[in-house]
Structure 1
Amino acid sequence: MAKDRNNKQYSKEFKESILKRIADNESVPKLSEELGISKSTLYQWARNEKKTQGDVPDNKPSTKWSSEDKFHVVLETASLSEVELAAYCRRKGIYVDDVKSWKQQCLKANTTVSKNPQKIDEELKAEKKKAKDLEKDLKRKEKALAEAAALLVLRKKAQANLGGPRGRMISSSDRKVAVELIDDARASGARLKPACEELNISERTYQRWTAGISDDIKEDQRPLATRPTPKNKLSEEERDEVVAVVNKPEFADLVPSQIVPKLADQGKYIASESTIYRVLKEEKMNTHRNRSKPPIRRPIPTHIAIAPNQVWTWDITWLPGPVKGQYFKLYLIVDIYSRKIVAHEVWETENAQYAEYLVKKAVLAEGIAGKPLVLHSDNGSPMKAATFLATLEKLGVQSSFSRPRVCNDNPFSESLFKTLKYRHKYPTKGFSELSESRKWVLKFVNWYNYDHLHSGINFVTPNQRHNGLDKAIMEKRIATYEAAKRKHPERWSGSIRDWSVQKQVTLNPVREKEFEEQVR
């Protein structure tokens, strides 16, 4: 006797008749309505019947099931609900995903349609074209790789600057070396134009050097050229007269700037002041002989910072006091890499002891005692005091100073002072007392370090850059802009905004020409 969930008993003959109707593809829900038997009971009878007949194996790994077994599983589970399917899979020792994948395989089994021969031919042509394009791309990349390797070798061999600005005179030996290096690079796969650019010469210059039947390199003909004498050039008699006049007893101790007016008073003109200076220089008679020191060409103080706490600049500015003529002195140190104010104090006077205290405070606060650090300043008395310089030496800090009478050698501190004094809440009428100025400056420093998006560091706060947070911020900004460009590409005529991180900051950067003059 068979039982349902309500423990109601049915005869074996009744159950077999029901199973036969199910086998004849009668709907299980309709049978359930007609007979008053739950659908789950009818499905259970059908599964038990198939189990006894051995249609679908139990407790067998899904990887070892035959195609026929999988097909039977798909048929059995076709009308099951999610809950019934889960129970069925647990009994069979398989997963729900296995049944779903088997069902998809069954559905796709009969979808294969014989392709049109013409379509197959078109696809074959497309594949051949694709393979040809890939082969071309591969050859192009191989050439580019060979060229890059050749240029790297050329760059390594070319230690000297064989090129230079337009019109520069290059010796024959340097020309020969340059041509040999370029020929070697071209033989290794480099093109002419990139090879010439590595040596800082133009493609046309190389062609001019190597033009001709012989293998000899053409020499520069400018030194051998015969040029006409300038019309305004002094004759030898006039030069001799200039030398004779300036060496007269009455002019012997005078400079040309004094000689020219005296000659004009006498109604004489032999040459201009600059011409007299030039003639004396050529005759080596313009040696400095005054009691004053000869002019000294001082090098530009330049330093490069690639991380925080490598180069600091500091200065003192005056804050207006309660009465006209009275000022409070703001001492301030700024890191040029991050633009962060690392230390500040306000006092009533300028004193080297205050400067010593400020530097010690900054070094200890940043935890860089004993580490290499450059501290740049102008030439004020607190900056050059002997006790202050001794303190810097003890702390391992290298001092750097602006050139005398040069107002823009300390730009980071000067720019910061302008930002401070142009704040809309800056008390232009003065601070009533020292404590008030200190409170205001402290509030400004907190705003500047933690809230102000600095344009010089691509609009992050100095504190973010000082602590290395700017890289993640820039990556997020780049992702945001790239997503916006993908969404509306028609609104972007070129690349996205430059949100790159500034890798280095230079104090007073010099041009290549200025650097060469300093080295000389």
Structure 2
Amino acid sequence: MRYPASEKLEIIRIVEQSHLPAKRTLDQLGIARRTFYRWYDRYLEGGPEALEDRPSAPSRVWNRIPAEIHDQIIELALEATALSPRELAVRFTDEQRYFVSESTVYRLLKAHDLITSPAYVVIKAADAFHTKTTRPNEMWQTDFTYFKIIGWGWMYLSTVLDDFSRYIIAWKLCTNMRAEDVTDTLDLALVASGCDSATVLHKPRLLSDNGPSYIAGELAEYIEANKMSHVRGAPMHPQTQGKIERWHQTLKNRILLENYFLPGDLEAQIEAFVEHYNHQRYHESLNNVTPADAYFGRAPAIIKQRERIKRQTIEYRRLQHRKLAA
């Protein structure tokens, strides 16, 4: 079976970021180890572009990136060390109005020994509910996750995430996981989204698991009173809430780098990361816009602008090549 370059890259990222041994991960994916390591060697040597199944061809000299652009990319990479080559390429294009591809950034960083191995864990969870949403506030995912505060005990984070945009609408740090904590978080979400207005005809549908707080009668009464609806994932199948599971893991990868001794310290770190996640973190599944861009309807204009920048950049490089060749 032939895999397109995009699928090869996704498989490489899954194996790199899996908490399981590579052999076990590959067995679950149905990929032969010999095949995977052939892809991986090509990827490490040439970046995502090297995964394409095509014969070798002469380099397109006209499309070579100028040295001053190389320097600017390296400068950005040194300033924003937490960004991946994909995120650096998108940010550079947005900020400098000059298109560079992920593969170009990867090769440049690799040449300067600035590529690091993944230092985080990503769970494998379904990216989408069985019926995909088409607009913000159509469906919200909600769940709890937990954090240990040294000398204090456990705290539980209740979050409401918009399924369409992955935007964190509301969150609350709780001492328990009660139905009351769920409804308090939903109150915050309804106000923040404007869905508490009587003029909103289509209220969000809530997606949760089957935890005690989500099957409680108190929550059912709240849902009915607010003219919402509620669906729950299949028991023992957390992948149904894949997006919020991924959010939890992304959050913990950052938050758990430090120890916390007071609830206020943890709350401040969560607040800062939610702000970063919503407004600064480019999301690959959202065509490399932020959750806030997708939630507030800015994504189409941003994507259109990037396509325009890409065309203008390529035309500029072609023109510069012709001038030099004349």
TM-score (norm 2): 0.55
Give the superposition deviation at 1:454. Answer: 1.4
The higher radius of gyration belongs to 1
Q: Tell me if the contact between 2:167 and 2:278 (Cα under 8 Å) persists in the aligned partners.
A: yes
- Cα contact 2:182–2:213 (8 A) shared by 1: yes
Aligned equivalent of 1:443: 272
Given that 1:301 and 1:402 are in contact with CA atoms closer than 8 Å, whether structure 2 keeps it comes out as no
Tell me by how many angstroms 1:472 deviates. 1.2
Q: Is residue 2:322 matched to residue 1:471? A: no
Cα deviation 1:100-141 (Å, max 9, x = unaligned): xxxxxxxxxxxxxxxxxxxxxxxxxxxxxxxxxxxxxxxxxx
Unaligned segments of structure 1, at least 5 residues: 1-299, 491-520
CA contact (8 A) 2:179 2:218 kept: yes
Note the 1:376-391 alignment, pairs <5 A.
376-391=207-222
2:293 match: secondary structure = helix
- Find out whether 1:350 has 2:177 as its counterpart: yes
Q: SS at 1:304's partner residue?
A: coil
Task: Give the alignment of 1:125-136 within 5 angstroms.
Answer: none
2 CA distance for matches of 1:364 and 1:466?
15
Uncovered stretches (5+) of structure 2, i.e. residues with no partner: 1-127, 320-326
2:27 paired residue number:
none
Match of 2:233 in 1: 402
Does structure 1 retain, via aligned residues, the 8 Å contact 2:129–2:241? no
Structure 1 moving runs of 4+ over 2 Å: 300-304, 369-372, 426-430, 484-490
Equivalence for 2:311: 482
Cα-to-partner distance string for 1:234-259 (whole Å, 9 max, x where unaligned): xxxxxxxxxxxxxxxxxxxxxxxxxx
Once residues 329 and 475 of structure 1 are traced to their aligned partners in structure 2, the CA distance between those partners, rounded to angstroms, is 40
What is the alpha-carbon distance in structure 2 between the residues aligned to residue 428 and residue 321 of structure 1?
Answer: 13
| 1-structure distance, mates of 2:317, 2:270 | 45
User: Aligned residue for 1:308?
Assistant: 136
- Number of equivalenced pairs: 189
Distance in 1 of aligned mates of 2:216 and 2:309: 52
What amino acid sits opposite 1:447 in the alignment? H
Query: How high is the TM-score relative to the length of structure 1?
Result: 0.35
Is the contact made by 1:319 and 1:430 (CA closer than 8 Å) also made in structure 2?
no
* Partner of residue 359 from structure 1, selected from 160, 169, 186: 186
Look up the SS of the partner of 1:328 in the other structure: strand
- Give the Cα separation in 1 of the matches to 2:311 and 2:189: 40
Q: How does 1:32-181 map to 2 (within 5 A)?
A: none
Q: 1:460 aligns with which of 286, 289, 313?
A: 289
CA shift, 1:376, in A, is: 0.4
Amino acid at match of 1:418: Q
Quick one: percent identity of the two aligned structures? Answer: 22
> Does the aligned pair in 1 maintain the 2:160–2:170 contact within 8 Å?
yes
The one-letter amino acid paired with 2:284 is S
Residue type at the aligned position of 1:350: M
Distance in structure 1 (CA, Å) of the matches to 2:129 and 2:316: 48
- AA matched with 1:357: D
Supply the AA of the counterpart residue of 2:305. K
Cα RMSD (Å) of the superposition? 2.2
Tell me the CA shift for residue 480 of structure 1.
1.0
In structure 1, how many angstroms separate the alpha carbons of the residues matched to 2:194 and 2:234? 30
| CA shift for structure 1 position 488 | 4.1
Give the deviation of 1:489 after TM superposition: 5.5
Deviation at 1:329, TM superposition (A): 0.2
How far residue 304 of structure 1 moved from its aligned partner, in angstroms, is 2.5
Which structure carries more relative contact order (alpha carbon 8 Å, separation 6+)? 2
Q: Distance in 2 between matches of 1:477 and 1:428?
A: 34
Q: Which residue of 1 aligns with 2:159?
A: 332
Q: Distance in 1 between matches of 2:148 and 2:206?
A: 27
How many Å apart are 1:301 and its aligned residue? 6.3
**Residue equivalent to 2:43:** none
2:165/2:291 contact within 8 Å kept: yes
Equivalent AA in structure 2 for residue 360 of structure 1: D
> Helix, strand or coil for the counterpart of 1:344?
strand
Contact 1:313 1:410 in 2 (8 A): yes
* 1:320 match: secondary structure: strand
2:159–2:172 CA contact under 8 A, matched in 1 = yes
2:221 is paired with a residue whose SS is helix
Aligned partner of 2:253 in structure 1 is: 422
